[in-house]
């Protein structure tokens, strides 16, 4: 068995011809740029491209295969530049049952299966070329199709206030929307961690995923997982989700939830912390606020015990480190192989020879949790304020 680093929720911003896929994503987020950046700078072994239902994305993959630059693996997934690409699609469901929009992730084992899925989706969507579009079928109907194609079905960022399973405040259980037995895993999202999510008993049976939901190259691998597999393939990942034959996720790496942009309940006008018991913000008087993930989980809490889980390791991405700009990062990458190595492994004695002492102290403090964070909320990310002093 080997250990593989995987980020399974990465968006495409533009196709090879320049057409938009994820409208809110960076134009530089193309298929080939993602593969290059994820493997060489971020140090990932497996990535999930989550907009593969788009016909032009599928065509680009077919062309790469024809050119001999990409190959399809026998156990599912594609291979290019020493990295495995899993074919996914983020979709939005909305019907009378689910009482609001919910994003889900559907992964297919082969290019043929994703082509079939894309054709099927086009009968229930207004624009198959764009990411995260609404599909006019129920959650259970979508699950049935994914099972038929031997795919993987995962509710996405399940606690975020908008477009998620639990976030709207009207759903108390995933069984209101989905077939419990046709869910392969749960994606937590940036504002929650394992300890928070395990306060909800119905989630105990599922493997938790920590993915970046990257809308730019720099955001890739801000969250990821380490998986124990025989090889980096779709079939092996599916076994890991169900903890079969010794395959498993052995560690989740994610932002400290305080850095997530929906962790705390805040006033939408001034971003001051807001109590849901009050009508008006005590800071500015506004009546508009967004309930945070932490508060929503406490509403849903029905459990004190937790199952045995892999460790959840908080990390501070390098872009959050004060004083660590593009040029400083370039210096570090000339010496260390990937950003992951810089964040988690590079020793103080080597870092101090390359970048200013203050930057090194931030990196080291981030590793040990000895860092002060300003909590995010209302769509605004948290940030690093300084080191924790004794």
The whole-number pLDDT of residue 276 equals: 74
pLDDT at 389: 47
> How buried is 310 (Cβ within 10 angstroms: 0-12 exposed, 13-18 middle, 19+ buried)?
middle
Answer for the pair 383, 373: CB distance below 8 angstroms, yes or no: yes
pLDDT band at 312 (very low <50, low <70, confident <90, very high): very high
pLDDT (average), residues 72-77: 98
Q: Please tell me the predicted confidence (pLDDT) of residue 387.
A: 61
Interaxial angle between packed helices 139-148 and 111-121, expressed in degrees from 0 to 180 and rounded to the nearest 10 = 150
CA–CA gap between residue 123 and residue 179 (Å, rounded): 23
Query: Which residue bears the tokens 């501070």?
Result: 316
∠ CA 280-285-289, nearest 5°, is: 55
SS (H, E, C) the chain: CEEEEEEEEECCCECCCCCECCCCCCCCCCHHHHHHHHHHCCCCCEEEECECCCHHHHHHHHHHHHCCCCEECCCCCEEECCEEEEEEEEEEECCCCCCCCEEEEEEECCHHHHHHHHHHHCCCCCCCCCCCCEECCCHHHHHHHHHHCCCEEEECCCCCCCCCCCCCCCCCCHHHCCCHHHCCCEECCCCCCHHHHCCCHHHCCCCEECCCCECCHHHCCCCEEEEEECCCCHHHHHHHHCCCCCCEEEEEEEECHHHCCCCECEECCCCCECCCCCCCCCCCCCCCEECCHHHHHHHHCCCCCCCCCCCEEEECCHHHCCCCCHHHHHHHHHHCCCHHHHHHCCCHHHHCCCCCHHHHHHHHHHHHCCEEEECCECCECCEEEEECCC
User: Residue 234: which pLDDT band, with cuts at 50, 70 and 90?
Assistant: very high
Does pLDDT of 390 surpass 50?
A: no
pTM: 0.94
pLDDT of residue 368: 83
- Set out the domains of the chain in order of their start, with CATH numbers: 2-257 (3.20.20.140), 317-390 (no CATH)
- Of residues 209 and 325, which shows the higher confidence score? 209
What is residue 278's predicted lDDT score, i.e. its pLDDT?
79
pLDDT score, position 282: 87
Both tokens of residue 265?
């309940």
* C-alpha span between 246 and 224 (Å, rounded): 20
pLDDT digits (tens, 9 = 90+) for 138-167: 999 999 999 999 999 999 999 999 899 998
The answer to whether the CB of 326 falls within 8 A of the CB of 192 is no
Q: Are 359 and 326 in contact (CB under 8 A)?
A: no
- Tokens in use for 317? 């991405």
Tens of pLDDT, residues 112-148: 999 999 999 999 999 999 999 999 999 999 999 999 9
Average pLDDT along the chain: 93
Phi, psi of 2 (to 5 degrees): -125, 160
Residue 97 in this model has a pLDDT that exceeds 70: no
Task: Give 81's contacts (C-beta < 8 A, 6+ positions apart).
Answer: 35, 36, 39, 40
In the chain, pLDDT over 70 holds for what percent of residues?
A: 98
Res 338 pLDDT > 50: yes
């Amino acid at each position: 068995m080997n250990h593989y680093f995987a980020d399974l929720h990465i968006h495409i911003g533009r196709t090879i011809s320049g057409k938009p896929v994820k409208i809110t994503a960076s134009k530089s987020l193309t298929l080939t740029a993602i593969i290059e950046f994820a493997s060489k700078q971020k140090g990932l072994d497996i990535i999930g491209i989550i907009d593969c239902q788009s016909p032009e994305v599928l065509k680009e993959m077919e062309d790469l295969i024809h050119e001999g630059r990409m190959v399809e693996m026998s156990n599912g997934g594609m291979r290019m530049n020493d990295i495995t690409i899993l074919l996914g699609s983020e979709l939005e469901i909305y019907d009378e049952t689910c009482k609001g929009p919910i994003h889900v992730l559907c992964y297919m084992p082969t290019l043929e299966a994703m082509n079939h899925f894309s054709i099927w989706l086009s009968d229930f969507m207004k624009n198959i070329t764009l990411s995260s579009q609404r599909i006019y079928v129920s959650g259970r109907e979508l699950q049935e199709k994914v099972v038929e194609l031997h795919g993987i079905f995962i509710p996405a960022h399940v606690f975020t206030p908008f477009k998620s399973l639990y976030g709207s405040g009207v759903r108390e259980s995933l069984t209101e929307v989905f077939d419990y037995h046709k869910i392969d895993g749960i994606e937590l999202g940036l504002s929650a961690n394992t300890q928070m999510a395990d306060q909800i008993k119905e989630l105990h049976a599922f493997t938790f995923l920590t993915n970046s939901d990257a809308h730019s190259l720099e955001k890739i691998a801000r969250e990821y997982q380490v998986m124990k597999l025989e090889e980096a393939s779709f079939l092996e990942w599916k076994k890991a989700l169900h903890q079969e034959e010794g395959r498993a996720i052995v560690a989740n790496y994610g932002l400290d939830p305080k850095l997530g942009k929906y962790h705390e309940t805040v006033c939408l006008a001034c971003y001051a912390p807001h109590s849901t018991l009050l009508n008006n913000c005590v800071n500015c008087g506004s009546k508009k606020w967004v309930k945070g993930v932490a508060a929503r989980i406490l509403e849903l809490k029905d459990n004190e015990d937790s199952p045995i889980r892999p460790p959840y390791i908080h990390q501070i991405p390098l872009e959050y480190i004060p004083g660590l700009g593009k040029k400083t990062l370039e210096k570090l990458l000339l010496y260390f192989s990937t950003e992951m190595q810089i964040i988690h492994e590079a020793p103080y004695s080597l870092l101090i020879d390359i970048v200013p002492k203050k930057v090194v102290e931030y990196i080291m403090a981030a590793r040990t949790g000895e860092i002060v964070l300003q909590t995010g909320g209302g769509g605004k990310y948290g940030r690093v304020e300084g080191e924790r002093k004794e």
